Amino acid sequence: SNPVNSTTLVDGSFLTAKSLAKFGVDHMFGVVGIPVTSLANRAVSLGIRFIGFHNEQSAGYAASSYGYLTGRPGVLLTVSGPGCVHGLAGLSNAMANAWPMILISGSCDQKDFGRGDFQELDQIAAVKPFSKFSVKAKDVREIPTCVAQVLDWAISGRPGGCYLDIPSDVLHHTVSESEAEHLLVEAKNSRKRSDIASVPIPNIQEVVSLLRHAQRPLIVCGKGAAYARAEGALKKLVENTGIPFLPTPMGKGLLPDTHELAATAARSLAIGKCDVALVVGARLNWLLHFGEPPKWSKDVKFILVDVSEEEIELRKPYLGLVGDAKGVLELLNKEIKDDPFCLGKSHPWVEAISYKAKENVAKMEAQLAKDVVPFNFLTPMRIIRDAILALGSPAPLLVSEGANTMDVGRAVLIQTEPRTRLDAGTWGTMGVGLGYCIAAAVACPGRLVVAVEGDSGFGFSAMEVETLVRYQLPVVVIVFNNGGVYGGDRRSPEEIDGPYKHDPAPTSFVPGAGYHILIEAFGGKGYLVGTPEELKAALSESFSAQKPAVINVTIDPYAGAESGRLQHKN
Ligand code: ADP
């Protein structure tokens, strides 16, 4: 390599790229423009893969899910002002889901701030509600430390979004190469170590005793456990104790959905009747009905395992264990090993759950077995499920969004491996699909990515199919096309009046939209399907091609329900 030169100058763009590369960043997502184009080019020249998007919103969703999938902060790069604002979508999504991500935005020249400069915005103030830490590099010399800080903050404690602001003058200022090297070493030495897992757990024996003496224990596992890569420890705990488990939507796959102790298909019974619930890396928020009656029994004793002490304080569980999910489960396993217990298949609780799950699965299978044409949601979902299962291991990564499409997909599609499901998540974010697909493809090379989306969810970022084609990513996007948000026009006659009564309904899109043609405009492969045979052929061809494809599935516009399963909220 070149000897470090004390007279050669490097600028802020280079120093930022160099800091990112030195501190382990290998991918960036974003949209270039003033003043960050040179930063992106520098990053590429230093070995970082830059994935250029059409819109910062999608790029931000990509960065957030990249953080979840890899355990390392996903990085979003945007221009100043409006670029930063578009990026807030991804940053807020990272915060809501507790995923590590950093947003780096250029900002206007410091000396012109406050005088109406090009794309002027107080970006530090704008990101405040959506980030756990933010910092502005006010001088080129501050860059390496600022980069180290945002990267460290994003993964420390509860993961989340962080923001780095770099004004355009700072990107253009220079220091000597030797000073740059010195600054990088200094920043590296100042990095804080991640301290999770080292917190002592005083009440581990109490937890084991509670589980041991419970009549109807349940283990609930969420995406925090998936993030912590706790699947091995979880498997051991479940199989050694014989306690049934219930995954949250993105916790699906930590243990296979097909596991005999999976309570997924007996969810209402499991949460309604359990007397002790060990909740690992999942919040008792809306997705888990706040842990309250009538869904949960009023006497249930919660044991929460979470890396965030505030989370445990908020929920006031019977017992709380602050720590890394994997570390805590390993401690539990160790404690149990000395005096093992196992419920066994004939335990009344295990039997009740298994019986109910089998009954519900059989009911669902009877519905799924029918070939309904024009398609309802179930028939194509079954065909997709079977095509995915036929691929075996490594299982493809599944991306799912849309109201009915996601609800039906969650019930029908089967996850057999951890971190293989990305959906609208804690924030119920629609429009994440293409960003998640792109992140999944680059974060997990060699694996197929399959998106199963509603036409409305797809439409938020449909232009990113060009990004799929440009980078030749192995992504098959299956669009459930029912012509609108929730499908056809469901208004009652008295709701249709006024001067714009001849406009399409607020929920409607162009009927029969040719989404498959969209990807062909860029050289990808499109399929239009409306029958089981057509869908099977398209899946088989696109899954083996491992190339960008869109399968436009015509669905009966009146097949779904408004707001999916959240009708009470609309
Ligand atoms: P889900 O949507 O699957 O229910 P949530 O996002 O609500 O999951 O909850 C995930 C929880 O996991 C968060 O409260 C977060 O603080 C926690 N968490 C994140 N990382 C870890 C970790 N390494 N160990 C334990 N808990 C973690």
DSSP string of 247-279, one letter each residue: E-GGGTTSS-TT-TTB-GGGHHHHHHH-SEEEE
Provide the pLDDT for residue 440: 98
DSSP string of 456-514, one letter each residue: HHHHTTGGGHHHHHHTT--EEEEEEE-SBSSSS----GGG--STTTTSPPTTB--TT--
- Indicate which residue's Cα is closest to atom 20 of ligand 1: 224
| Ligand 1 site, residue 252, Cβ cutoff 6 A | no
Q: How much distance in Å is there from the Cα of 306 to the middle of ligand 1?
A: 6
| Ligand 1 site, residue 281, Cβ cutoff 6 A | yes
Secondary structure percentages of the chain, helix, strand, coil, to 5: 45, 15, 40
- Indicate which residue's Cα is closest to atom 19 of ligand 1: 224
Q: For tokens 């960003």, what's the residue?
A: 435
| Ligand 1 site, residue 227, Cβ cutoff 6 A | yes
DSSP string of 214-229, one letter each residue: -SSEEEEE-HHHHHTT
| Ligand 1 site, residue 282, Cβ cutoff 6 A | yes
b/e map 227-259, b = 16+ CB within 10 Å: bbbbbebbbbbbeebbbbbbbbbbbbbbbbbeb
Q: What is the pLDDT of residues 426-436, one digit of tens each?
A: 999 999 999 99
Each of the 570 residues of the chain gets a pLDDT tens digit; together they read: 456 667 899 999 999 999 999 999 999 999 999 999 999 999 999 999 999 999 999 999 999 999 999 999 999 999 999 999 999 999 999 999 999 999 999 999 999 999 999 999 999 999 999 999 999 999 999 999 999 999 999 999 999 999 999 999 999 999 999 999 999 999 999 987 665 545 567 799 999 999 999 999 999 999 999 999 999 999 999 999 999 999 999 999 999 999 999 999 999 999 999 999 999 999 999 999 999 999 999 999 999 999 999 999 999 999 999 999 999 999 999 999 999 999 999 999 999 999 999 999 999 999 999 999 999 999 999 999 999 999 999 999 999 999 899 999 999 999 999 999 999 999 999 999 999 999 999 999 999 999 999 999 999 999 999 999 999 999 999 999 998 887 778 888 888 999 999 999 998 999 999 999 999 999 999 999 999 999 999 999 999 999 999 999 999 988 876 555 555 565
| Ligand 1 site, residue 287, Cβ cutoff 6 A | yes
| Ligand 1 site, residue 508, Cβ cutoff 6 A | no
Provide the pLDDT for residue 198: 52
Q: Between β-strands 397-401 and 319-322, what pairing exists: parallel, antiparallel or unpaired?
A: unpaired
| Ligand 1 site, residue 325, Cβ cutoff 6 A | yes
In angstroms, the first-to-last Cα distance of the chain is 61
Provide the pLDDT for residue 487: 73
Provide the pLDDT for residue 335: 95
Contact by Cβ (8 Å): 63, 152: no
Q: What atom of ligand 1 comes closest to residue 247's alpha carbon?
A: 3
Mutational pocket test of ligand 1: of 223, 229, 289, the residue with most ligand atoms within 8 Å of the beta carbon:
223
Q: What atom of ligand 1 comes closest to residue 287's alpha carbon?
A: 4
Contact by Cβ (8 Å): 278, 261: no
| Ligand 1 site, residue 156, Cβ cutoff 6 A | no
Mutational pocket test of ligand 1: of 246, 255, 308, the residue with most ligand atoms within 8 Å of the beta carbon:
308
Q: How much distance in Å is there from the Cα of 142 to the middle of ligand 1?
A: 32
Q: How far apart are CA 148 and CA 63, in angstroms?
A: 17
Q: For tokens 């701030």, what's the residue?
A: 113
The burial class, CB within 10 Å (0-12 / 13-18 / 19+), for 7 is exposed
Q: What atom of ligand 1 comes closest to residue 249's alpha carbon?
A: 3
